Chain A
Amino acid sequence: AQTVTQSQPEMSVQEAETVTLSCTYDTSENNYYLFWYKQPPSRQMILVIRQEAYKQQNATENRFSVNFQKAAKSFSLKISDSQLGDTAMYFCAFMKLNNNNDMRFGAGTRLTVKP
């Protein structure tokens, strides 16, 4: 079974600084997708960024970028120029490509951006 581990239950960062959230996963699959979701107090899960395992180039979305290390099974999220609105829970997720394509989540990291 696939497992997703987020080893940092809580993190904080000063506004305008950079922060990196860690995620590791365990799988024997070669083709899969990885995602980072943000969950603010409103509870709605919002997709931040996604990465296809067969692409070596790291995905970027404005201030958000990932460091995807396939051999190490690591998928960290870097947030640059942190803003107060980035305060939220962040979940790393793994999706195996099979008939179901269901998504499995880590336990999350609570990020607080301080003014």
Chain B
Amino acid sequence: EAGVAQSPRYKIIEKRQSVAFWCNPISGHATLYWYQQILGQGPKLLIQFQNNGVVDDSQLPKDRFSAERLKGVDSTLKIQPAKLEDSAVYLCASSLEYALGYTFGSGTRLTVV
């Protein structure tokens, strides 16, 4: 089966600019996650979708971050405006059965200068 697709692979922007990341989960996976991984740290959950509804966005900085999952398939994560501390890898993951773990994409490395 095809894996979790993410784009772009790399992105460099200036602070205060906006950026968007795209994720296409594995077909049939109802649950989709966005994680932020700062260099030297483990991934931190930003938002979780079940189909096209938000299950948990308690750790999403809502003043600058937004995410949507239209039609319950692919998803976009947006940052506007970006800050220097947003520099990180943004990982998307999906799951069919949570007990089996998640399948991750290769992530987008964001550098804010």
Contact = CB atoms under 8 A, between A and B. Distances in A.
A4 interface: yes
A44 B33 contact: no
Contacts of A95: 98
Contacts, number: 60
B104 interface: yes
A105 B42 contact: yes
A50 B106 contact: no
Interface residues of A, number: 25
A27 to B, nearest CB: 16
A99 interface: yes
Contacts of A75: none
B66 to A, nearest CB: 19
A44 B48 contact: no
Chain B, interface size category, equals: 20 to 34
A47 B40 contact: no
Nearest to B109: A43
B39 to A, nearest CB: 11
B107 to A, nearest CB: 5
A100 B104 contact: no
Interface of A: 4, 33, 35, 37, 42-47, 50, 52, 91, 93, 95, 99-108
